[in-house]
Amino acid sequence: MKYIYLGGAGEVGASCLLIQVAGRNILIDCGIRVNQRGHTAYPDLQRLKWHAHDLDAVFISHAHADHIGGLLTLQRSYPKTPIFMTGPTADLATVMLLSAHQLTNIHREVRHTIKEIPNDRYSAEDLSLRRDYLTAKFKSVLEELKKYTIIDTDAWIDLEWGDTWAFRFIPSGHILGAVSIELRTPEGNFLYTGDVSAFRQRIVDGIGDNLSGINPDFMWCESTYGNGDHPARKTEERRLVEAVTTIIQAGGKVLIPSFALGRAQEIIMILLSYMQSGIIPDFPILTDGLVNKICDVYEENICFTSQRFQHWAERSPNLFYTPPIRRVRERAREHFLRMDTPYCVIASSGMLVGGASVDYARALAGHPKNAIFLSGYQDAESPGAELQAMQQGDYLTLSNGDALQVNCNVEKFHLSAHSDQGQLIKMIKAANPKQIALAHGNARATQALHGKLFKDFPVTVAINCQLYDTTPKGVREATHRYIETGPPYSVS
């Protein structure tokens, strides 16, 4: 078996793993680097084309942009390859990909063009041609999104490549629809963890002992928090709730920039449950940005959430939008940005790279009675990371180059949806692989986890774009000749 990370090794972003086994090319995940634009945001799809002229199957672990953001581009290069994912992942991926910047613009343009009337610049015929072109473009994207093959968790699925081939999706906690992937092949049994959370969250259960006893011949494991242990979840939740309440009671406003998918829904539930149990008073909580659409998808997929959440949902007809939680429509945002009375707003994006959270940051950051509470992983290059390291009064550089003076409170809360070092080690030992490759983490995190594992397992800290060939003795690099020479041709 050979494997190569086209992205996602030594970083959190652009996850994309090619596995070559028994004459088949299998790709797992195709994400983007959310902090980057243009071709550098993508995995090395040119190199992928070089290594795999055809792909036999694509598996998607979950719908975070760092795992699916490159999917439409991939589909253009490999239009016939089946793409397997869970039902909730397909629903979430559709919303995530349609909301990607470029597609939103196409949609907007279609709407505007439809409203336009012929004028000096555009004849009726011009407009009608443009309308047809944009509508066709938008429809073709929708068609691509319908091509996914939905697979239930836990059952073994026959790939119809012969008796020895099968795969199964194993719930991995993390977010709605997320799975680890186990693959049976003529050359052995392989396990890709995807992103995992050991602990139970408000909406999804943890991975528990789902990987125990699998004994794979090879395991690809995430290592996002491979270099430390999380503070106790309950303590951190309480700290956040108390900090928000303090600011609100003093007449301020709070922005919680949040990943639209997963984190935002957890934060809504944390605040709501403290209110419902009477520990804190009710105050207005707003959600804005992509968060709103993702909440709708969660609502349509309640049967895939934890039993505990399903019980709560039965008694809560408005689910996330149980008062005092309300969603802000894009056209009403301006009103809330100017509003004087206190509120807490949960808005995407989580690293302040764009979206509604940036609008609220501009409105709130200047005043010392307000607060911005960061809630998760901040990429080293992101405005969120810069904000975290700043002193009061410093200027924050936003993605468009604007400078924003920050006089408000800034604090970081650890509400990660990833296992920490101790939890990863426990999970790996229970899975008991013969060999491991570590990826999906920065160098510090991955090296630290390597340091804890290498005495017990042959373990490789994977590097992007290196082809590894697994042998009985361990893992060795097959060749990296092409690193100097580059791929021989470009992707069309």
CB-wise, 113 or 349, nearer to Zn ion? 349
Smallest distance from Zn ion to CB 123, Å = 49
Interaction between residue 359 and Zn ion (CB under 5 A): no
Pairing type for strands 285-288 and 467-471 reads: unpaired
CB-wise, 28 or 255, nearer to Zn ion? 28
CA-based max dimension of the chain: 75
Q: Are 141 and 72 in contact (CB under 8 A)?
A: yes
Residues 6+ apart with CB under 8 A from 91: 177, 297, 300, 301
Smallest distance from Zn ion to CB 178, Å = 7
CB-wise, 66 or 359, nearer to Zn ion? 66
**Contact region for Zn ion (CB under 5 A) — 194-202, 252-260, 323-331, 360-368?**
194-202
Binding residue (CB under 5 A) for Zn ion from 195, 237, 359, 386: 195
Q: Are 220 and 448 in contact (CB under 8 A)?
A: no
Interaction between residue 379 and Zn ion (CB under 5 A): no
Residue whose token pair is 């690293």: 351
Smallest distance from Zn ion to CB 63, Å = 8
Q: How many residues bind Zn ion (CB under 5 A)?
A: 3
End-to-end CA distance of the chain: 28
Smallest distance from Zn ion to CB 70, Å = 13
Interaction between residue 11 and Zn ion (CB under 5 A): no
Smallest distance from Zn ion to CB 414, Å = 16
**Contact region for Zn ion (CB under 5 A) — 64-72, 100-108, 202-210, 320-328?**
64-72
**Contact region for Zn ion (CB under 5 A) — 37-45, 59-67, 144-152, 315-323?**
59-67
Smallest distance from Zn ion to CB 351, Å = 13
CB-wise, 195 or 379, nearer to Zn ion? 195
Burial of 385 (0-12, 13-18, 19+ CB in 10 A): middle
Helix (H) or strand (E) holding 177: none
Smallest distance from Zn ion to CB 174, Å = 6
CB-wise, 69 or 433, nearer to Zn ion? 69
Smallest distance from Zn ion to CB 135, Å = 33
Interaction between residue 66 and Zn ion (CB under 5 A): yes
Interaction between residue 64 and Zn ion (CB under 5 A): yes
Write the CA distances from 404 to 34, 150, 289, 386, 393, integer angstroms.
21, 45, 21, 12, 10
Q: Which backbone phi and psi does 151 adopt, to 5 degrees?
A: -125, 135
What 3-state class would DSSP assign to 267? helix
Interaction between residue 182 and Zn ion (CB under 5 A): no
Interaction between residue 418 and Zn ion (CB under 5 A): no
Pairing type for strands 344-347 and 395-397 reads: unpaired
Q: Which amino acid is at 16?
A: C
**Contact region for Zn ion (CB under 5 A) — 65-73, 116-124, 251-259, 341-349?**
65-73
CB-wise, 66 or 288, nearer to Zn ion? 66
Residues 6+ apart with CB under 8 A from 204: 173, 174, 175, 176, 178, 197, 305, 306, 309
Which residues of the shown chain bind Zn ion in the complex (CB under 5 A)? Answer: 64, 66, 195
